[in-house]
Amino acid sequence: MSIDPASASGLGQLKWVNLRSSSGLQAGAATAEAQGSSSAEFAAVLQQLSAQPADEKSLSEVATLADSKALSSLIWQQLGAANVGYGSISRGTVESVPTDYEELIQTASAKYGVPVDLIKAVIDTESSFNPNVVSSAGAKGLMQLMDGTANGLGVSDPFDPAQNIDGGVRYLSYQLKRYDGEEKMALAAYNAGPGRVNKLGVSNDEELMQKLSLLPEETQAYITKIERARAEYAL
């Protein structure tokens, strides 16, 4: 999903392996460096969210802090406690080509307000519906969750389809909310990380496409692949 800076030179050449069938491969722990915000600041924002209805400003504050620290389960638990609703973020087809994970995808779609065909397109592009793949950057499972993101979303087993789909769709819905439903921006953030998207200084999909060449080549191709796959799943 997100690009590992350490493997940036190999963009476009990510390789998948079956972790469960590879005895010599061990999952690496994801790391993140705190930049400019203390634990006390973060806790204060979360406490404020829990005490009052969430609005765009408070969600933005959490998003800013989340960008600067490793996501933890506390983040998502507190956001849930604050009743941060994503609603119907992005419109899409109601019906779509069925898959082996239909019930899980339909459930996640209804829960987080992300179109079914978009979810299927992301899974297809990320893992070709193989729940056991691991990218060379360390992303795992159907929706290719990095360890840090998976932990923050409460996903204890990224190879479990139910956990992976729920976590991946939840994270995608968070990006859609962050960018006011602009799907290309959300997808770019899902693939390359919101930090890279924010540095472009764009506010909508049209502006993003004008600066697309400034993103990693993998991300440039990713958006096109998602659109192509989505068309295949739409009915």
Are residues 132 and 21 in contact, defined by beta-carbon separation less than 8 angstroms? yes
Sequence-distant (≥ 6) Cβ neighbours of residue 24 within 8 angstroms:
none
Tokens of 10: 């190999």
CA dihedral sign, ordered 178, 99, 166, 190: negative
Sequence-distant (≥ 6) Cβ neighbours of residue 209 within 8 angstroms:
184
Q: Cα 122 to chain center, whole Å? A: 10
Catalytic residues: 126
Q: Report the candidate in 193, 101, 172, 25 with the shortest Cα–Cα distance to residue 15.
A: 25
Sequence-distant (≥ 6) Cβ neighbours of residue 173 within 8 angstroms:
86, 89, 112, 113, 114
Q: Which residue's entry shows tokens 């600067």?
A: 68
Integer Cα distance of 203 and 205 in angstroms: 7
